[in-house]
Amino acid sequence: MKILAAETATGWDQIVHWCINTGLNSGPKIIISLIVLWLGFKLIKLIRKTLAKAFEKRDVDPSLRPFITSMVSIVLKILLIISLIGYLGIPMSSFVALLGAGGLAVGMALSGTIQNVAGGVVILILRPFKVGDYIAAQGFEGKVNSIKIFNTVLTTVDNKVVTLPNGTLSAGSVINYSAMEQRRITVTCKMAQGVDVSKIQNDFFSMINQNEKILKDPKSKVVVILNEDSVSIETRVWATTSNYWDVNDTLNKQIYEYMIKENISMPYQKINLINK
């Protein structure tokens, strides 16, 4: 740290020396540099917009568009500033020393932010999910709206916006409900012992065959599970990911209405009364 502080002090001394001996006599260069800086930032903004439009026309993955355009903009701005420093004749060695000291301080202060940037890179490379997928992570679930440099933005089913930091998101567990084309739906009904399970199975299969959104392959199953004080009938069907919620809601409603219509009794909870 002492060596770094000494290098920083030397860097400031060199810059102050340049300002006194050279900078005061370089008024035209400074004015030109400021004009070029302003025009350069305008041009970089235009380049960023042009890139975004080009990516949209070429149908580049929406997950990559904001990340690449942001990185290009940052790199171009850094190169522009370094070029202007060289044009003004500021000693680069002193500038590098200041950057090193500043970089260390900023790095320590923004360690979490740097972790989020690294996490964003990992997500875009490994692609556990993409824009438009429905995921669950860190106790939240929703549709992925955008993957930015520092965070990922979700929209929940009740239209809330959730922002998740990329650092913890890339290092934690993520459930991607949209990764596969098909999903299984399971509806479990607990019934009292003594019911005619064969009739219920046949009726459930008839119910399944009438729903066109339920896939024929993989085949549907209606499984009987014996419990200690009851019988469970588990209906397992498959649907495309896009039809998952529609099939799930419809099947649950039909099974519930069937149980009421057939007057199928549910197991009751036994309560042990203890006299004290």
**How is domain 182-261 classified at the architecture level of CATH?**
2-Layer Sandwich (3.30)
Give the residues across from 155 on adjacent strands: 143, 161
Indicate the pTM of the whole model. Answer: 0.59
Residue type, 167: G
Q: pLDDT tens for residues 150-159? A: 889 999 999 9
User: Is 21's pLDDT higher than 50?
Assistant: yes
**DSSP code for 159:** S
User: Maximum CA pair distance of the chain?
Assistant: 101
- Give 2-119's CATH code, choosing from 3.30.70.890, 3.40.50.1100, 1.10.287.1260, 3.40.50.2300: 1.10.287.1260
pLDDT per position as a tens digit, 99-122: 665 555 555 544 566 777 788 778
Q: Would you call 139 helix, strand, or coil by DSSP?
A: coil
137, 141, 142: which is closest to 165 by C-alpha?
137
Section 199-205 average pLDDT: 93
134 strand-pairing partners: 143
What are the residue ranges spanned by the domains of the chain? 2-119, 127-176, 182-261
**What mean pLDDT is predicted for residues 223-236?**
89
CATH code given to domain 127-176: 2.30.30.60
- Express each pLDDT in 37-81 by its tens digit: 899 889 988 988 888 888 778 776 676 677 778 778 888 888 888
**Strands, E assignment, the chain:** 134-137, 140-147, 151-155, 161-165, 174-176, 182-191, 221-226, 231-240
In this model, does residue 1 exceed pLDDT 70? no
The pLDDT of residue 275? 46
